[in-house]
Amino acid sequence: MPNFVADWISKSTRNIGRKVRRAFKKRGMQEYSLFDARGRRKYLVPVERKRFLKAALECRGRVATFCAVLTLTGARISEVLALTPERIDLGNCAINFETLKRRKRGLTRAVPVPDELMAYLEAVHRINDAQLDPKKSDKRLWTWSRATAWRRVVAVMKLAAIPSYVSQPKSLRHAFGVEAALEGVVITMIRDWLGHADMRTTMIYTTVIGPEARTLAERTWQQLTELF
C-alpha cells in the first residue's frame, strides 16, 4: 500500500509539472512581442539590414557567406551551422534547412534565395565540387561552434553600426519576417520559410507599422505639423 501511494503521488506531481509547463508555454506565446521590456524593437529595419549585409560582404570569405545566409533566409543560427553542400539546391536556387525547435526531427523546408547568393556560396565553398565528393557532401560548410558563430555575427553588427540592443543573430531572423510582412508576402508562406509550427508566432510579424499604416496615421497629424 505505501508503495502504491508513493507511486500515485509521484505520478500526480509529474502531471502537475507538465500542466504548469504547458500553461507557461501557452502564456509565453501570447506575451511574445517584437519589442523588449523597455520598448525597443528586436528586429533590424530595412536600412540596417542592408548595412549589415554590406559590412558582412566586406569581411569576405566564410564570415560573409554565413552572414549572407542568415540575412537572406531568416534561418536560425543553428540551422545555418548545420548546412552541408548537399542541402544547397543549385537547380532550384534554394537552401533546404532542417527545421529545428520542433518535436519531430527530419523536417526540411526549402527557402528560395537570390542567384547572387548561390554564386557567392559556390565561389567560397566550391559547392559543385563538394556535392560530387562523397567525403565532402555531408560535411558542414561552417565548422564553428554556436558561440563562435554568434561572436562573428555580433562583430559584423558592430562594423555596421547596428544599435547594441538589437545586435544579435535572432534580430536578422526577425528582420526577415518583418520585411516579408511589410512587402505583402502571404502569411502562410512566411510561416513556411521561417519554419514556425504555430501560425500565431508568424502573425506577430504583421503587427509592426508599415507604409500603409503610416499613411493613414498622417491624416491625424497633417493639420498640426505646420505648427513645428
pLDDT in tens, 13-41: 455 445 434 543 444 444 578 999 999 99
Average pLDDT of the chain is 88
User: Cα separation of 79 and 64, whole Å?
Assistant: 17
**pLDDT value of residue 29:** 45
Query: What are the residue ranges of helices labelled H in the chain?
Result: 2-31, 46-59, 61-73, 77-81, 115-125, 127-132, 146-159, 169-182, 187-194, 199-203, 211-221
Task: State yes or no: pLDDT of 130 exceeds 90.
Answer: yes
**pLDDT value of residue 20:** 39
The residue ranking higher by pLDDT, 2 or 175, is 175
- Output phi, psi for 80, to 5 deg: -70, -40
Q: pLDDT-based confidence at 228, cuts 50/70/90?
A: confident
For residue range 46-93, list pLDDT tens digits in order.
999 999 999 999 999 999 999 999 999 999 999 999 999 999 999 999
Q: Return the closest-CA partner of residue 42 out of 190, 178, 153.
A: 178
Torsion angle, alpha carbons of 67, 68, 72, 74, to 10: -20
Contact 124, 88 (CB under 8 A): no
Using a pLDDT cut of 70, give the percent of the chain over it: 86
- Output phi, psi for 105, to 5 deg: -90, 165
User: Cα separation of 205 and 184, whole Å?
Assistant: 11
**Set of cell numbers at residue 163:** 544599435
User: Cα separation of 151 and 94, whole Å?
Assistant: 26
**pLDDT value of residue 138:** 97
pTM confidence score = 0.83
Using a 10 angstrom Cβ sphere, with 0-12 exposed, 13-18 middle and 19 or more buried, the burial of residue 92 is exposed
**pLDDT value of residue 101:** 77
Grouping H, G, I as helix, E, B as strand and the rest as coil, residue 69 is helix
**pLDDT value of residue 96:** 98
